[in-house]
Chain A
Amino acid sequence: MKKNTRKKSIVHLLIGVCMLLTLSSCLKEDFTQTTDETPNIASFLKNSADYTMFYDAVKQAGAASYLDAWGTYTVFAPNNAAVQRYLQEQGKESLADFADEEIKLLVTQHIVEDTVSTGNFKDGKITKNSVAGLFITTSVVSEGGQAKIVLNKESTILLPNQRTGNGLVHGVDKVFTPITRTLVEQIQADPNLSLFAEALAATGLDVLLGKVAANEYFSVLTVTNEVFAQRGFHNLQDLKDKYSHTGNPRNTTDSLYMHMSYHIVKDLKYVSDLMLQSSHTTTVPNEIVLVKVDKERVLINEEEWLGTIELGAEVDRTKSDVTTKNGVLHYLKDNIFIKQRLPFPIYWDPANQPELKTAGIYKRASMSVPYNLIKDITLANTSNYYYGYPQTGNSAGAVNDDLLNFNLRTAVLPWVEMRTPVIVKGRYKVWIAWRRVESNQGPNMIDIYLNGVQLSRQLNTGEYRNTTLNPRELEAIGYKRVTTTGSNVHNCKMVGIIDIDFTDRHILRLETKTNRAAELQLDMIHFIPVDMEQIYPQFDANGNPVYPI
C-alpha cells in the first residue's frame, strides 16, 4: 500500500514537471533585441511635446527614415510655435500646402551631418554646412543680463544638447530663413549701401559678387552711405572724380575699380576668421588688408608704420557677419584705402620676438628656447634651439650682443621657418649675418627659401669674413661687414635677390641637406631694396646703426 502511493506520487510529480516544461516553452519570452533604448532623432521629435510639427515636416520631406537610422546628425528643431509662425508668414494653412522642394529645403537646412554640441560653437559659422548646403552661424548675445545662443542671427536655442541615439537635437524658437540672396542682392537690399552698390555696378564688380560657384566665396567689407559722406563722397560722381583716373571704372587698372575691389576679401571669412590672421588677401592683385584686434574692437588697416600710427577702420560687429549664398557681408565704420608704400630696408634681428621679450630674456640672458615658444618660428621637429646673450670671447661683437643658434643639420633639425616683419612689395637683396662655425668634418651648407622659392646662393656656415678686400669690393662679390666691433668670425652674405609681390609678412626658410656638427648661429637678416645703399648702416653690439663718417 505504502509502496503504491509512493509510486503514484512520483508519476504525478513527473506529469507536473512535464506540464511545467510545456507551459514555459509555449510562452513567448519578450527579449530586448536592441542594445540601447535611447530614441533616435526622428522618434525623439515624434514623442516630444513641442516639436511634433517639425517632425511632420521631416516626415513629409522624406528625412524621417534617415533620422531614425544609424549615423551622426545634429538637428536644430524649431518648436511648434515657430513652425506655426512660419506657416503664417508664408500664408499657408498647413505643411501640406508646401511644394516638395520647399519642404525639403526647409527641413534640410536645419540638419547637419555631424554632432555639433553647443560646446563646439565659436563666433561665426559651425564647421559643417547644413544638408541643404547652407552655412549656420552661431553667436552668443547678452540680453538683459542673460546670455543666449543665437543661430543665424535670428533663432535662439531653447533646449540645447538633447542627446539621442544618432546625434544631437537643439530646440530653437524660429525657423531658419532660407538664404536666397547673393552678395550683390544683399548689398542692393540695404538702402544704406546704395552708393556702395552703385559703385559696384559702375565697376562691373557686381557680376563677380552675383555669381554662385562651388567653393568660390567672398567676404565684402561694405561702407555705408553715411560713412562715405563723412569722407566727402555723396554720390557716384564724387567717387569717380576722386578715383577714376582712366575715366573707365570697368578697367581693372582704374583706381576706382581697384578701390572697390580692395573691399572684397577672398574666401568666406566671418569676423572671427578675420581676427585669426593678421592679413588677408583681397581681389586686388598683391594687395592685402591688415587686421588688428584691440580688445573687442576689430580694426582694418590700423598699423604702426615707420613710427606713426595710422588709424584704421573698425568693423561694426553687431551688423556684420551677414551670410549670403556666395559669401559674407561686413560693415565698416570708416572707409579703407589701398596704401601706396615705397619699399624700405628691413634690418631684422630674428631674436627680437615678443615671446622672448615677455619672458624677460631678450637682451637680458641666455635661454634654451622650447621649440613651440615663438609662434613666428616653426621647426621641422621638436628640437629646442638656443638664444645666446651676451656674446663673449671671439663671439663678442654680434649685433645686439645676441645670436640665435639652430642646430641645423639633417640628423637634428633639417629646417626652420621664420615669419619676417612686414616687407613692402618691391625688389630686395637678402643678406644673412651669422657667426661662422664648422666642425672637424667641415661646415653645413644651408639653402634659403622665401615663400617656397629658393634663393640663388647657399650659405656655408664655416666661412670667415674676408678682411683684405675693401668694403665695396666685398659688396661686389656679395659679402659685407655688419658688426662694427666683431672680428672676422662675424660674416654676412647676400643670398639672393627676390621680388616681393605683396606687402605682408613672409616666410623665410633655412634648410640644410648636410649633417655636420656645426650650428647656424644667426645674427641678423636684411632685406634691402636693390636700388638702395647695401652695406651701411653697420650695427654695434647695442644694436645701434653706425654710418660711415
Chain B
Amino acid sequence: MKTIKRYITWSIICCGILSGSCTKWMDIKPENGLVAQDFWQTKEHVRSAVNGIYISLLNSNLAEQLFVHGELRTDMVELTTFTNLQLDEYRYANLNSSNPSVHWAPFYRIINFCNNVIENAPKVKDIDPTLTQADLDAYIGEALAIRAWMYLNLGRIWGDVPLKLNYTASDEEELNIAKSGQADIFAAVVADLVRAEPMVKETFGTTTAADKGKVTKYTVNALLADVYLWQDDFQKAAAACDVLINSGKFDLVPGNPSSWLNVLFATGNSIEGIFELQYDRQFLNNFIALFSLNPRYQVGQNVYENLYMIDETDPENFDIRGNRGSLDASTGQIYKYQAINRDVRKTLEESYTHWFVYRYADVLLMKAEALNGMEQGEKALELIYQVRERANALVFNDLAPNENDFQGITSFLVDERAREFAYEGKRWFDVLRHARRNNYARLDLITNMVMSYAPPDRQQAMLNKYRDPGSHYLPIYFTELQMNKALVQNPFYGN
C-alpha cells in the first residue's frame, strides 16, 4: 500500500515537470535573432529588410557573375592559366547543364529578398502608424526596381526563365514553376519599373553614397531605358533617357587623364554615377585578386591595338580609356578596378572600386541607340561624339558613318560602347541586343566577334553554334531541372 502511494506521488510530480517543460519547449525562440512572426512589426523592420537587399547585392558575388556573363563570351577578355575548366567551356561554347557557371541561384536569391519586402512591408503600415505612405512606397519601389534588374539579367542571360513574383518562405511551398518566355519576362520588368517609378525617391537627401548606391527615380529610368531597348521600343527608351538628361543632376566626369580614372572609378559616386554597388573598406570586393594577384581574366589580344588603337606619331595623344585606363598594356591586366589613377594601383586592402550598373555615359549612348532606331542618325552621332570627345578617342577608330547609314551607326555605337564600358559587364549584352534586332539582322556582330577570339581548332564549331540563336542563352543548371519538374531544358542544349 505504501509503495502504491509512493508511485502515485512520483508520477504526479513527474507529470508536472513534463507538462511544464512541454509548454516551454513549444515556445522557445532564438536569443540573438528574430523569427518571422516577430518581424514586420515596425518601420525599422521594413528599413532593415530593404537594406538587406542591398547587402545581398554585395555578398552574393553578383559583380563577378555579371562580369562573367557579360564579358566571357567576348573579344574583350582572354582566359589565363589561373582559369578553370568550367570557364573554358563557357568561353568556347561548350556549355552543358552541369557547368556551375550557368547556375542562376544568386539572381533568384536576391529576387526572393525583394519579394519578401514587396509582399510583407505593406502589412506593417497597419501595425506601426509611424510608417508614412511615402516611405513605404519608396521601400517597395526600391525592391521592385532591384527585382526588375534581376529579371532583366535573367531574361538576357537565360532567355526564358520562371517568373516568381511572390515570396518563398519555406521549401514546403509549391515550387514547380514553368518558364515564361523572354518577352513576358521583359514585360514583367517594365511593369515593375513603371510601378516603381512614381514610388521611389528622387533623392534620399543624406549622402551622395545613398543617392548613387540606392535606387532613385533615376535608377529606375535608366533601367527602363535599358529594358525598352531590349524590347526595341525606342520612343519610350529615349523618353526614359531624357528624364535623366533633363534632370541636370548628371554630367560626364571631365576627361582629364590625371584625374578621370580616380574620380569616376577609384573613388566612385561621381556626378556621372547613377547606380553603383557600394563596396568600401568594410566591404571589399575580390577584384584585385581576380584581375591582378591571380588573374583569371586578362585583356583580350586585340583590345589595345585594334579597339582603342595607338597614335604611333604622338605618344601624348591617347584614348584615356585605353592603356592605364581600362587596361594595363604592359602586363595585359584589366586595370579599371585596380587603379587609383594612371600610375598608382590599389592594394588588396583597397579593393573597393564600385561595380557600375549605370552611369551617365551609358544613358547618353542608350539614347543614341534609341535615336538611331528611330532613324535620327544625326542626333545619335552627336551623342556618340560627346562620349568620344570626353575620352579623347583617337581619330583612327572614328568610323564616321553617314547620318543616314543606320547600320554603320550601329557598328560604330557597338564599338564605342566596348571602349567606354570595357570590363563593366556590358559587352556581350550590347552585341547580343544589337545583333538580335529585326530578326537577327546583325548576326554578323556576334560571328565577327567570335571569329576574332576562337582558337583555330574550334573556330568552325563555335561559329556554327553561334549561328543558332539558341546558343546565345545559357542552359538551365541540372539541379534546377531535378528540383523543379515543370522546367524544360532550353532546346539548344538537348536533353
**Which chain A residues have a beta carbon within 8 Å of chain B's beta carbons?**
117-119, 121-124, 138-142, 145-147, 159-162, 272-273, 275-276, 293, 295-296, 317, 357-361, 364-365, 367, 370, 372-373
What distance in Å separates the Cβ of B419 from its nearest Cβ neighbour in chain A? 16
Per the bound structure, the CA–CA distance linking A498 and B331 in Å amounts to: 37
A121-B310 CB under 8 A given contacts A147-B468, A359-B332:
no
Among B330, B331, B440, B461, contact of A365 (Cβ-Cβ < 8 Å): B330
Per the bound structure, the CA–CA distance linking A273 and B113 in Å amounts to: 51
With a cutoff of 8 Å between Cβ atoms, the chain A residues found around residue B448 in the complex are 295
Q: Which one, B44-52, B179-187, B451-459, is touching chain A?
A: B451-459
B460 contacts partner chain A, Cβ-Cβ < 8 Å: yes
What distance in Å separates the Cβ of B119 from its nearest Cβ neighbour in chain A? 40
Interface centre among B81, B315, B463, B494 (most CB of A within 10 A): B494
Contacting pair B457 A360 (CB below 8 A):
no
A272-B467 CB under 8 A given contacts A161-B96, A359-B304, A367-B330:
no
Contacting pair A145 B330 (CB below 8 A):
no
What distance in Å separates the Cβ of A32 from its nearest Cβ neighbour in chain B? 21
Contacting pair A296 B463 (CB below 8 A):
yes
Among B457, B470, B492, contact of A275 (Cβ-Cβ < 8 Å): B457
Contacting pair B329 A293 (CB below 8 A):
no
Contacting pair A147 B460 (CB below 8 A):
no
B495 contacts partner chain A, Cβ-Cβ < 8 Å: yes
With a cutoff of 8 Å between Cβ atoms, the chain A residues found around residue B440 in the complex are 145
A370-B331 CB under 8 A given contacts A145-B468, A147-B492:
yes
With a cutoff of 8 Å between Cβ atoms, the chain A residues found around residue B457 in the complex are 122-124, 272-273, 275-276
B94 contacts partner chain A, Cβ-Cβ < 8 Å: yes
With a cutoff of 8 Å between Cβ atoms, the chain A residues found around residue B96 in the complex are 117-119, 161
What distance in Å separates the Cβ of A449 from its nearest Cβ neighbour in chain B? 28
A122-B461 CB under 8 A given contacts A142-B468, A146-B470, A359-B329:
yes
Contacting pair B461 A121 (CB below 8 A):
yes
Instruction: Taking A124-B457, A147-B471 as given, write out 8 further A-B residue pairs in contact, using a Cβ cutoff of 8 Å, ordered by the A residue number.
Output: A119-B96, A140-B460, A140-B464, A161-B96, A293-B456, A295-B451, A358-B301, A360-B329
With a cutoff of 8 Å between Cβ atoms, the chain A residues found around residue B463 in the complex are 142, 296
A159-B456 CB under 8 A given contacts A147-B464, A360-B304:
no
**Which chain B residues have a beta carbon within 8 Å of chain A's beta carbons?**
81, 89, 94, 96, 301, 304-305, 310, 315, 323, 329-332, 440, 448, 451, 456-471, 492, 494-495
Q: Could you list some 15 contacts between A and B, CB below 8 A?
A: A121-B94, A121-B461, A122-B457, A145-B469, A147-B466, A147-B470, A147-B492, A159-B494, A161-B494, A272-B457, A295-B451, A296-B460, A359-B329, A360-B310, A365-B330
What distance in Å separates the Cβ of B83 from its nearest Cβ neighbour in chain A? 14
With a cutoff of 8 Å between Cβ atoms, the chain A residues found around residue B495 in the complex are 159-160, 162
With a cutoff of 8 Å between Cβ atoms, the chain A residues found around residue B468 in the complex are 142, 145-147
Per the bound structure, the CA–CA distance linking A160 and B491 in Å amounts to: 12
A123-B461 CB under 8 A given contacts A145-B468, A147-B470:
yes
Per the bound structure, the CA–CA distance linking A276 and B495 in Å amounts to: 33
With a cutoff of 8 Å between Cβ atoms, the chain B residues found around residue A367 in the complex are 330
Contacting pair A272 B304 (CB below 8 A):
no
Per the bound structure, the CA–CA distance linking A213 and B492 in Å amounts to: 41
Per the bound structure, the CA–CA distance linking A404 and B387 in Å amounts to: 40
Contacting pair B310 A145 (CB below 8 A):
no
Per the bound structure, the CA–CA distance linking A370 and B81 in Å amounts to: 13
With a cutoff of 8 Å between Cβ atoms, the chain B residues found around residue A117 in the complex are 96
Contacting pair B330 A317 (CB below 8 A):
no
Per the bound structure, the CA–CA distance linking A123 and B94 in Å amounts to: 13
Per the bound structure, the CA–CA distance linking A119 and B98 in Å amounts to: 11
With a cutoff of 8 Å between Cβ atoms, the chain B residues found around residue A272 in the complex are 456-460
Q: What secondary structure prevails in chain A residues at the interface with B?
A: mixed
Which chain B residue lies CB-closest to A121? B461
Contacting pair A359 B467 (CB below 8 A):
no
Per the bound structure, the CA–CA distance linking A159 and B463 in Å amounts to: 21
Among B89, B323, B467, B492, contact of A360 (Cβ-Cβ < 8 Å): B323
User: What number of A-B contacts does a CB cutoff of 8 Å give?
Assistant: 95
A296-B469 CB under 8 A given contacts A118-B94, A140-B464, A359-B304:
no
What distance in Å separates the Cβ of B160 from its nearest Cβ neighbour in chain A? 17
Per the bound structure, the CA–CA distance linking A265 and B96 in Å amounts to: 37
With a cutoff of 8 Å between Cβ atoms, the chain B residues found around residue A160 in the complex are 494-495
A123-B460 CB under 8 A given contacts A147-B465, A147-B470, A364-B315:
yes
What distance in Å separates the Cβ of B387 from its nearest Cβ neighbour in chain A? 23
What distance in Å separates the Cβ of B260 from its nearest Cβ neighbour in chain A? 19
With a cutoff of 8 Å between Cβ atoms, the chain B residues found around residue A159 in the complex are 494-495
User: Which 3 A-B pairs rank lowest in CB-CB distance, beginning with the nearest?
Assistant: A275-B456, A147-B468, A142-B467
Which chain A residue lies CB-closest to B80? A372
What distance in Å separates the Cβ of A315 from its nearest Cβ neighbour in chain B? 12
With a cutoff of 8 Å between Cβ atoms, the chain A residues found around residue B462 in the complex are 140
With a cutoff of 8 Å between Cβ atoms, the chain B residues found around residue A139 in the complex are 460-461, 464
What distance in Å separates the Cβ of A141 from its nearest Cβ neighbour in chain B? 6
Which chain B residue lies CB-closest to A119? B94
Per the bound structure, the CA–CA distance linking A277 and B468 in Å amounts to: 29
What distance in Å separates the Cβ of A295 from its nearest Cβ neighbour in chain B? 5
A145-B467 CB under 8 A given contacts A160-B495, A358-B304:
yes
Among B332, B460, B469, contact of A317 (Cβ-Cβ < 8 Å): B460
Per the bound structure, the CA–CA distance linking A399 and B309 in Å amounts to: 26
With a cutoff of 8 Å between Cβ atoms, the chain A residues found around residue B456 in the complex are 272, 275-276, 293
Per the bound structure, the CA–CA distance linking A297 and B243 in Å amounts to: 48
With a cutoff of 8 Å between Cβ atoms, the chain B residues found around residue A122 in the complex are 457-458, 461
Per the bound structure, the CA–CA distance linking A384 and B456 in Å amounts to: 28
Per the bound structure, the CA–CA distance linking A121 and B458 in Å amounts to: 8
Contacting pair B310 A140 (CB below 8 A):
no
Per the bound structure, the CA–CA distance linking A275 and B457 in Å amounts to: 7
A361-B301 CB under 8 A given contacts A140-B460, A145-B469, A272-B460:
no
With a cutoff of 8 Å between Cβ atoms, the chain B residues found around residue A124 in the complex are 457
Contacting pair B467 A147 (CB below 8 A):
yes
Per the bound structure, the CA–CA distance linking A162 and B96 in Å amounts to: 12
Contacting pair B459 A359 (CB below 8 A):
no
Per the bound structure, the CA–CA distance linking A358 and B329 in Å amounts to: 8
With a cutoff of 8 Å between Cβ atoms, the chain B residues found around residue A359 in the complex are 304, 329-330, 332
Interface centre among B330, B451, B471 (most CB of A within 10 A): B330
With a cutoff of 8 Å between Cβ atoms, the chain B residues found around residue A357 in the complex are 305
Per the bound structure, the CA–CA distance linking A317 and B332 in Å amounts to: 34
With a cutoff of 8 Å between Cβ atoms, the chain B residues found around residue A296 in the complex are 451, 459-460, 463
Per the bound structure, the CA–CA distance linking A293 and B466 in Å amounts to: 20
Per the bound structure, the CA–CA distance linking A361 and B330 in Å amounts to: 7
With a cutoff of 8 Å between Cβ atoms, the chain B residues found around residue A295 in the complex are 448, 451
What distance in Å separates the Cβ of B8 from its nearest Cβ neighbour in chain A? 19
With a cutoff of 8 Å between Cβ atoms, the chain B residues found around residue A161 in the complex are 96, 494
With a cutoff of 8 Å between Cβ atoms, the chain B residues found around residue A147 in the complex are 464-468, 470-471, 492
With a cutoff of 8 Å between Cβ atoms, the chain B residues found around residue A140 in the complex are 460-462, 464-465
A361-B329 CB under 8 A given contacts A142-B467, A160-B494:
yes
With a cutoff of 8 Å between Cβ atoms, the chain A residues found around residue B464 in the complex are 139-142, 147
Contacting pair A275 B459 (CB below 8 A):
yes
Interface centre among A117, A142, A273 (most CB of B within 10 A): A142
With a cutoff of 8 Å between Cβ atoms, the chain A residues found around residue B331 in the complex are 370
Among A119, A146, A358, A373, contact of B89 (Cβ-Cβ < 8 Å): A119
What distance in Å separates the Cβ of B24 from its nearest Cβ neighbour in chain A? 37
Which chain B residue lies CB-closest to A149? B461
